[in-house]
Structure 1
Amino acid sequence: MSLLEFFRAGNTHPRPASLQARFEAWRTLPQPSGTQAVHESRIVVLDVETSGLNLKKDTLIAIGAVAVEHGRIMLDDAFDIVLRQEQISSKSNILIHGIAGGKQRSGIDPAEALMQFLEYIGPDPLLAFHVAFDQTMLEKSLKMWLQTDLKKRQWIDLAYLAPALLREQAMSHRTLDDWMQLFNIHNHRRHNAVADALATAELFLCINKKCEQQGWRTLNTLGVAERQYRQILGQ
């Protein structure tokens, strides 16, 4: 099922009139050029927590993100939000991400939370480890609550960029934990969205140093390297 078919099958809520002006201000932001250098860009590294791994049935619970700007992680430019849930997730799911039922019930209204997320990312490119899951869950929620998506946004998938650069480790390093261990990156709050985003950002900076050595210095060249590796894998 395509994303379009998936969204058509779901329910949507009218975009709140109170958010319309903010939404239009975000929608009309000028998009950055992919030809700009990575070290001159603001890249938003993100991670999500959900009620499960079923793209059709499960819901978005939390979004965590941190910005990388001028080759540095901007700890004062981070985002961490829990969306209010109509039905809390299972006990086994809560044990994974640690977002208790009370916190899920008292979260931010989903439309407002997602609007805050859009305002946080602005027009900037997005980076995640295994983009497909994060992107699908975000776009499912954005379609439901704000009738929008991120299809025109540039995404960088570190799960493909890392092995594209480090071919010798490609077969033995597949998960975020594998790559974190390789670069001695510590994450004491694994499966916390903002903590995982921070660890992913640290990994990106490690990888990007090697990308620059290969001449991959712009957002577009990172995208090309990622696509070429996907082609090798037949994806």
Structure 2
Amino acid sequence: MFKKLINNLKKRNLKDNNFEYLFEEPAKDEYVCLDCETTGLNPKKDEILSIGAVIIKKNKILMRQTLNIFVKPSRNINSESIKIHQIRPVDLQNAVEPKDAIFELLKFIGNRPIVGYYIKFDIAIISKYTKEYIGVSLPNHQIEVSSIYFKTKKRSSEYEFVDLKFDTIMKELEIPELGKHDALNDAIMTSMIFLKLKDKAPANSTFYTG
């Protein structure tokens, strides 16, 4: 109820009514898993360099419905950040303008819930762009796979440590590694994590975190 009220308030700030579909009720058992590679870890000042996304329908990852975009940064990327995201200037030669990339992403996502690993960061940095271009932050429900993983782990006490590192979760669930620091590969691997976990989560738990 509260989430619906917040979305109704957000909807009033839309600059373009063509994006009203973002606030519609999503189809059942459809999700989008996404990942962003960025210049850093501060959503307020850093920029998106690439976006990878894939659609999940029921229990299938739709490999024919993927999105993989390189985004043109406003300034040259430095060597230190390249060590983290491994995106070189040559990779960005055919990158698209941020506005075009975000509009393509919004069309791809639609009103589906968004699945990710530490997805709040991705949502925060994408929302920085959407607030500028269409007046609102992303209203889609968010599903955090590390939270689902945590809920499925059996612990001897509520204080027992649970390792939530991406590599640990992948190894525990026996998911093949496709190659790191590639937004689309990360989105696909995260999709596999989600599909392995969603039927293991406690019956009274909810996937949505935002």
**Alignment partners' CA distance in 2, 1:45 and 1:29:** 16
- 1:55-204 aligned within 5 A: 55-150=43-138, 152-168=139-155, 171-204=161-194
**Alignment partners' CA distance in 2, 1:56 and 1:93:** 16
**Alignment partners' CA distance in 1, 2:178 and 2:84:** 13
Match of 1:27 among 20, 28, 39: 20
Pair 116,183 (structure 1): closer, same or farther in 2 beyond 3 Å: same
Pair 198,28 (structure 1): closer, same or farther in 2 beyond 3 Å: closer
Unaligned runs of 5+ in 1: 1-14, 228-235
> How much does 1:185 deviate?
1.4
Determine if contact 2:23/2:140 at 8 Å carries over to the other structure.
no
Q: How high is the TM-score relative to the length of structure 2?
A: 0.82
Q: RMSD in angstroms over aligned alpha carbons? A: 2.5
Aligned to 1:12: none
- After superposition, the C-alpha distances for 1:14-41 in whole angstroms (9 at most, x for unaligned) are x9xxxx8xx53332366226xx7xxx42
> How much does 1:190 deviate?
0.7
Once the two structures are overlaid, the 10-residue window that deviates more, 193-202 or 96-105, is: 96-105
Length, aligned pairs only: 194
Q: How high is the TM-score relative to the length of structure 1?
A: 0.74
Unaligned runs of 5+ in 2: 1-13
Q: For 2:207, give the aligned amino acid.
A: L
